[in-house]
């Protein structure tokens, strides 16, 4: 009855859009395409414009862009998107970040750790019908542990979006929240590090791995935090969202303190960022926005994701801002342009943070 069935397909790109992604002049692109160095694309039915697939566009970005690649021998970065509260745009942030990074030439993996499986749904899969427990991260935590998988390669699936793979989730993933508390009672089991060990082999295969977590600091979410180099918390400027964010950081601090004191485990992060999301011009939201900025100070990213009909339209279609080649809604292209520009800036900032604080790329 609703998209993504039939299956989702990525947008196509005009030559001007590809040139903008690659940071070059359209004339240079045209020259290289004609010379055969890069894909020539295909003409529209009326022959007026040349169009490129997502895969072709990414080839141009990787060949022509000045974005530094992941240094040889350096493992991929891991990032968890966290928040207590549902509706905080956690999945929207995770998925748009993943897509945006692929448009910068990165190879990205989303690990969906929320039994609600919203990220999985955004790939076009129907979690309850098409994803079994053994296709999720759940088998890592199901006893006997001596027989569990040693890494998560078994669960990786390709998606409709070139450069983006997923470890899907399903309601059956909740079994992890049953077994992890049992494991936590055994002093011989490092229950908090189980996901970290299983994701380690994949860090050589992907530039960035993004964990989309459930709206709670559950045992599985703690595993995602421990497995992550960086944390990102999207926070809409609403009173309940702000209060929930403060509670999350307090509980996380207590949890990490308990691991340090009880298990002698210490965790450091390369970066932690707060992203203002669903921002509108209402007076109440402006007041809470100020509270958030004063509370988190330098941790707040200098970009805000606006509340936009374009984002709502994408959500209705099980899509994202990057799924739209252009916005044809009643409010026009300007509205879409603002939210797309905001996500582009957010993606660039996170990519620069990865380069500087994880990969130690001097230019970043």
Whether residue 76 contacts residue 207, with contact meaning beta carbons closer than 8 Å, is answered with yes
Mean pLDDT within 267-296:
90
What pLDDT band is residue 282 in, cutting at 50, 70 and 90? confident
User: Could you give the 3-state DSSP secondary structure of residue 306?
Assistant: strand
Task: Specify the DSSP element, H or E, that contains 79.
Answer: strand 77-81
Q: What per-residue confidence (pLDDT) applies to 285? A: 77
Question: Rounded distance, CA 308 to CA 315, Å?
Answer: 11
DSSP one-letter string for 170-230:
-GGGGHHHHHHHHHHT-TT--GGGHHHHHHGGGGGT-SEEEEE--SS--HHHHHHHHT-SE
What pLDDT band is residue 233 in, cutting at 50, 70 and 90? very high
Mean pLDDT within 275-289:
84
Whether residue 84 contacts residue 334, with contact meaning beta carbons closer than 8 Å, is answered with no
- The answer, yes or no, to whether residue 324 has pLDDT greater than 90, is no
- The answer, yes or no, to whether residue 232 has pLDDT greater than 60, is yes
What pLDDT band is residue 241 in, cutting at 50, 70 and 90? very high
- Sign of CA pseudo-dihedral 195, 353, 242, 114: negative
Name the residue among 263, 267, 188 with its Cα closest to residue 227.
267
What pLDDT band is residue 229 in, cutting at 50, 70 and 90? very high
Q: What per-residue confidence (pLDDT) applies to 29? A: 83
Nearby residues of 25 by Cβ (< 8 Å), 6 or more positions away: 19
What's the token pair of residue 17? 């859009």
Question: Rounded distance, CA 183 to CA 13, Å?
Answer: 49
- The answer, yes or no, to whether residue 312 has pLDDT greater than 70, is no
| 71-357 shares the fold of 1-66 | no
When mean pLDDT is compared across 6-15, 30-39, 127-136, 297-306, the lowest value belongs to 30-39
Q: What per-residue confidence (pLDDT) applies to 310? A: 56
Whether residue 210 contacts residue 354, with contact meaning beta carbons closer than 8 Å, is answered with no
Mean pLDDT within 201-212:
97
Q: What per-residue confidence (pLDDT) applies to 302? A: 97
Q: What's the alpha-carbon Rg for the chain, to the nearest Å?
A: 21
DSSP label of 74: P
Q: What per-residue confidence (pLDDT) applies to 331? A: 46
Q: What per-residue confidence (pLDDT) applies to 35? A: 84
User: Which phi and psi angles does 3 have, rounded to 5°?
Assistant: -60, 150
Q: Which residue has the higher pLDDT, 302 or 326?
A: 302
Q: What per-residue confidence (pLDDT) applies to 208? A: 98
| CATH classification (class only), 71-357 | alpha beta
- What does the pLDDT look like over 327-343, one tens digit per residue? 555 445 677 888 999 99
Q: What per-residue confidence (pLDDT) applies to 346? A: 98
What's the token pair of residue 174? 């909740």
Mean pLDDT within 168-190:
96
Q: What per-residue confidence (pLDDT) applies to 36? A: 82
Q: What per-residue confidence (pLDDT) applies to 225? A: 97
Q: b/e map of 214-231 (b: 16 or more CB within 10 Å)?
A: bbbbbbbbbbbbbbbbbb
> CA–CA distance from 315 to each of 8, 235, 261 (Å)?
13, 18, 43
DSSP one-letter string for 234-298:
EE-SSHHHHHHHHHHHHHHHHHHHHHHHHH------SEEEEEEEEE---HHHHHHHHHHHHHHGG
Q: How far apart are the first and last CA of the chain?
A: 46
Q: Which residue has the higher pLDDT, 314 or 153?
A: 153
Domain ranges of the chain: 1-66, 71-357
- The answer, yes or no, to whether residue 122 has pLDDT greater than 70, is yes
Q: What per-residue confidence (pLDDT) applies to 349? A: 98
- The answer, yes or no, to whether residue 283 has pLDDT greater than 80, is no
Nearby residues of 184 by Cβ (< 8 Å), 6 or more positions away: 191, 219
Nearby residues of 329 by Cβ (< 8 Å), 6 or more positions away: 309, 310, 313, 335, 336
Q: What per-residue confidence (pLDDT) applies to 316? A: 46
Q: What percent of the chain has pLDDT over 70?
A: 91
Question: Rounded distance, CA 233 to CA 220, Å?
Answer: 17
> pTM of the full predicted structure?
0.94
Mean pLDDT of the chain: 90
User: Which phi and psi angles does 213 have, rounded to 5°?
Assistant: -100, 165
- The answer, yes or no, to whether residue 313 has pLDDT greater than 60, is no
When mean pLDDT is compared across 23-37, 226-240, 338-352, the lowest value belongs to 23-37
When mean pLDDT is compared across 109-113, 157-161, 184-188, 285-289, the lowest value belongs to 285-289
Fold of 1-66: Multidrug-efflux Transporter Regulator; Chain: A; Domain 2 (1.10.1660)
What's the token pair of residue 362? 């001097």
Q: What per-residue confidence (pLDDT) applies to 315? A: 52
- What does the pLDDT look like over 78-102, one tens digit per residue? 999 999 887 889 999 999 999 999 9
């Amino acid at each position: 009855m609703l998209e993504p069935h039939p299956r989702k397909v990525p947008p196509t790109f005009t030559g001007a859009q590809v040139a903008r992604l690659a940071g070059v002049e359209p004339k240079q692109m045209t020259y290289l395409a004609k010379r055969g160095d890069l894909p020539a694309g295909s003409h529209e039915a009326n022959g007026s414009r040349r169009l490129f697939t997502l895969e072709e566009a990414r080839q141009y970005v990787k060949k022509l862009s000045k974005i530094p690649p992941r240094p040889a021998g350096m493992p991929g970065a891991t990032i968890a998107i966290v928040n207590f509260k549902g509706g905080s745009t956690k999945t929207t942030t995770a998925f748009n970040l993943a897509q945006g990074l692929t448009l910068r030439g990165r190879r990205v993996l989303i690990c969906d750790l929320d039994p609600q499986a919203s990220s999985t749904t955004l790939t076009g899969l129907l979690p309850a019908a098409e994803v079994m427990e053994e296709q999720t991260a759940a088998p890592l935590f199901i006893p006997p542990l001596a027989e569990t998988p040693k890494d998560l390669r078994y669960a990786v699936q390709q998606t409709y979006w070139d450069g983006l793979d997923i470890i899907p989730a399903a309601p059956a993933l909740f079994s992890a929240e049953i077994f992890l508390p049992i494991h936590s009672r055994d002093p011989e089991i490092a229950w908090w590090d189980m996901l970290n060990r299983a994701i380690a082999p994949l860090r050589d295969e992907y530039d960035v791995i993004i964990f989309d977590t459930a709206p709670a600091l559950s045992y599985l979410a703690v595993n995602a935090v421990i497995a992550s180099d960086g944390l990102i918390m999207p926070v809409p400027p609403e009173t309940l969202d702000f209060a929930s964010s403060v509670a999350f950081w307090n509980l996380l601090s207590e949890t990490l303190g308990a691991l340090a004191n009880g298990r002698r485990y210490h965790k450091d992060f390369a970066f932690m960022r707060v992203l203002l999301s669903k921002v509108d011009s209402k007076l109440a939201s402006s007041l809470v926005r100020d509270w958030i900025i004063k509370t988190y100070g330098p941790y707040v990213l200098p970009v805000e994701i606006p509340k936009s009909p374009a984002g709502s339209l994408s959500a209705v279609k099980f899509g994202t801002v990057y799924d739209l080649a252009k916005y044809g809604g009643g409010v026009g292209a300007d509205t879409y342009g603002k939210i797309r520009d905001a996500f582009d800036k957010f993606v660039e900032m996170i990519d620069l943070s990865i380069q500087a604080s994880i990969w130690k790329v001097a230019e970043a």
